Amino acid sequence: MTSWRTPVGVLLTAVMLFPVYWMINVSLTPMSDMRKPPSLIPVNPTTEGYERVLREQVPYLGTSLLVAAGTVVLTLVLAAPAAYSLAKLRPAGRRALGFVLLVAQMIPGIIMALGFYGIYVKLGITNTVWGLILADSTIAVPFAVLILTSFMASVPDEVLQAATIDGAGPWRSFVSIVLPASRNGVVTAALFAFLWAWSDFLFAATLDSGGRLQPLTLGIYRYIGNNNQEWNSIMATAVVASVPATVLIVVAQRFVAAGVTSGAVKD
């Protein structure tokens, strides 16, 4: 009865994902064909773009992984204890803090970037990987606290009371009960922290553009800025940069959906 929806849905998805297909197609096109009328399928597929990525972009790739992993760790270390406190220990002033976190998410990145730049120049810490990690974490920390708070709030109070009666202190309850019980929230927060740090271009461009270790987004940007724009290499790098997003969709779809809707829709 609803069978017409499947082919139409496939068609709509194909239209929506066409630019992604095009990116892959161009990444396989030889430079000699690039100025000819574009062909819908790679007729003379080549790996020259990817070979160049392997030759030139591996250090950028490594930096991106390092920055993204560092951001995940920093974000979780800051956000998880705070979320536990907001959800379960409920100290005075938690509403005000929640409000601050909501507002913090709305500050445009360009303003944070300029402010960080001013501070980093003064302290002489521009072009450092850990400086970039610190800046990138600001994209994820407020979101991580809010989503972890909502996950941790659903751990029953009775369980925690029983633990307290058995002599567990707040730290013990946090580590052995609340944290394991809300691991879906931890995964969601970590996924988004990784993805945002991996994708960041603005902080990288402002704070790390002269650094020894630069992330992949700057690698792509350099390619685009070159005069002899080699679009198969640009698109091959773009394909490589898209791998984490694709992996997330495949292995962690429900976490992604949970992250998108959190804060927007209450269940």
Q: What is the DSSP string of 140-173?
A: HHHHHHHHHHHHHHTS-HHHHHHHHHTT--HHHH
Return the amino acid letter for 139.
I
Using CB under 8 A as the binding rule, whether residue 266 contacts another protein is answered as yes
Q: Which of 41, 55, 108, 166 binds another protein (CB under 8 A)?
A: 108
Smallest separation (angstroms) from another protein to the CB of 18? 9
Using CB under 8 A as the binding rule, whether residue 116 contacts another protein is answered as yes
- State the Cα–Cα distance between residues 200 and 93, nearest whole angstrom: 32
Residues in 173-202 that interact with another protein by CB under 8 A: 174, 195, 198-199, 201-202
DSSP annotation of 88 reads I
Using CB under 8 A as the binding rule, whether residue 235 contacts another protein is answered as yes
Per-residue contact track with another protein, 126 to 165, x per CB under 8 A? --------xx-xx--x---x--------------------
Pick from 168, 172, 194: nearest CA to 252: 194
3-class DSSP state for residue 122?
A: helix
Main-chain dihedrals φ then ψ at residue 29, nearest 5 degrees: -85, 135
Smallest separation (angstroms) from another protein to the CB of 212? 20
- State the Cα–Cα distance between residues 234 and 261, nearest whole angstrom: 32
Selected range binding another protein among 43-51, 55-63, 148-156, 240-248, rule: CB under 8 A = 240-248
16 CB-near residues (< 8 Å, 6+ apart): none
Length of the chain, please? 267
Q: Contact 135/112 with Cβ under 8 angstroms?
A: yes
Pick from 216, 222, 214, 206: nearest CA to 126: 206
Number of residues that bind another protein (CB under 8 A): 96
Smallest separation (angstroms) from another protein to the CB of 172? 11
Using CB under 8 A as the binding rule, whether residue 257 contacts another protein is answered as yes
Residue closer to another protein, measured from CB, 31 or 213: 31
Residue closer to another protein, measured from CB, 54 or 247: 247
Residue closer to another protein, measured from CB, 53 or 145: 145
CB atoms within 10 A of CB 30: 15
Using CB under 8 A as the binding rule, whether residue 122 contacts another protein is answered as yes
Residues in 60-89 that interact with another protein by CB under 8 A: 77-79, 81-82, 84-86, 89
Q: Which of 10, 43, 54, 251 binds another protein (CB under 8 A)?
A: 10
Burial of 57-88, coded b for 16+ CB within 10 Å and e otherwise, reads beebbebbbbbbbbbbebbbeebbbbbbbbbb
Selected range binding another protein among 46-54, 117-125, 150-158, 180-188, rule: CB under 8 A = 117-125
Using CB under 8 A as the binding rule, whether residue 115 contacts another protein is answered as yes
Using CB under 8 A as the binding rule, whether residue 5 contacts another protein is answered as yes
Using CB under 8 A as the binding rule, whether residue 231 contacts another protein is answered as yes
